[in-house]
Structure 1
Amino acid sequence: MEKETKVKQEAMAQLKRKGIRMTPQRLAIYHYFLANRNHPTIAEIQQSLREVYPAVSTATIYNTIRFLKQEGLIKEMGFTDSASL
């Protein structure tokens, strides 16, 4: 649990340093990427977030990921199939 708190604090600090407005969903999505060093699909992210944010939309996830990429906080990994992030 302590590691989880540190990751969440790191996410908040990075977003704040960049002057990025922190919505709960934006923070949760960025936290997901920091806490999970895998290459998730949108469906995997959405399923993970649904426990806390049951109404999180696919559009919110796509828009947040696009924003985080533009800000240089995450990078997209290209794969040969259509599911990539």
Structure 2
Amino acid sequence: MASPPGSAPLPVWATNLNWPTSGAFEIRWIAISDTPFRRVGHLKNCLNEGLAVPVGRDGQEIEEEAGRQVCEIVDEVVMEWY
């Protein structure tokens, strides 16, 4: 996070949500990579009916261990570029 919740303007897509959310905040990406689905497709997300991680929609919660593995894979892909 680059700013505290509530310090950034609310995105247009979030104005009509029917559930409570934290305030919008800014982020600073540490690494950006094009990670192929095939690299994470074997990971399952129990918070999305056990479906493969790439099946989740934007903003889909992801189970902690699967999230850690996604981060490790993204780091591996980034390091392959260096």
Query: Which structure carries more strand by proportion?
Result: 2
Indicate the structure (1 or 2) with the bigger Cα radius of gyration.
2
Query: Which structure carries more helix by proportion?
Result: 1
Q: TM-score, normalised by structure 2?
A: 0.29
